[in-house]
Amino acid sequence: MRKHDFSFGAGEEEENEINLTPMLDVVFIMLIFFIVTASFIKEAGIDVNRPDAPVTETKPEDANILVAITADDQIFIDRRLIDPRAVRANIERLHAENPDGSVVIQANKKSTNKMLVWVMDASRQAGVYNISIADSST
């Protein structure tokens, strides 16, 4: 009788390899599932459309408080340069002189929204809630 040589090492090398194809298929299917079921949320925000030209109708009896914001974010009230921290006090003074008047903000297209919001907040803090925004291209 002849002895048979059984080599166990040769068969083990083939069985030790892991087939990654089914795992990759599952990963891609899960990826597609999560992309399809994900809810896309729109960020909350405000769309601000500045007008192309100053569109304000002023009546002679209603003297409005005109606040101009230049391209380099300087603030002018009654053609005087005002420090941003003094905007509220100036609007309060002018509003006390004419309680029926509203605030008209002429913002240059190149001015920042930060300064526009700063002036609007100062107007509201001064007690004026009737605020109009006009464009100033100069």
pLDDT digits (tens, 9 = 90+) for 11-63: 555 667 788 888 899 999 999 988 888 776 666 677 666 666 555 554 444 56
Q: Can you name the CATH fold of 65-136? A: Nucleotidyltransferase; domain 5 (3.30.420)
Detail the DSSP E strand segments found in 6-129.
Answer: 65-69, 75-77, 80-82, 103-108
Amino acid at 86: A
Amino acid at 110: K
pLDDT tens for each residue of 97-125: 888 888 888 888 888 888 888 889 998 99
Under 8 Å between Cβ of 107 and 133: yes
Secondary structure (DSSP) of 77-102 = ETTEEE-GGGHHHHHHHHHHH-TT--
Q: For residue 101, what pLDDT is reported?
A: 82
pLDDT tens for each residue of 88-104: 998 899 888 888 888 88
Q: What is the pTM of this model?
A: 0.53
Name the burial class of residue 75, with classes exposed (0-12), middle (13-18) and buried (19+) by CB atoms within 10 angstroms of its CB. buried
Nearest to 100 by CA among 55, 64, 57: 64
Q: For residue 60, what pLDDT is reported?
A: 44
Q: What are the C-alpha distances in Å from 31 to residues 22, 25, 36?
A: 14, 10, 9
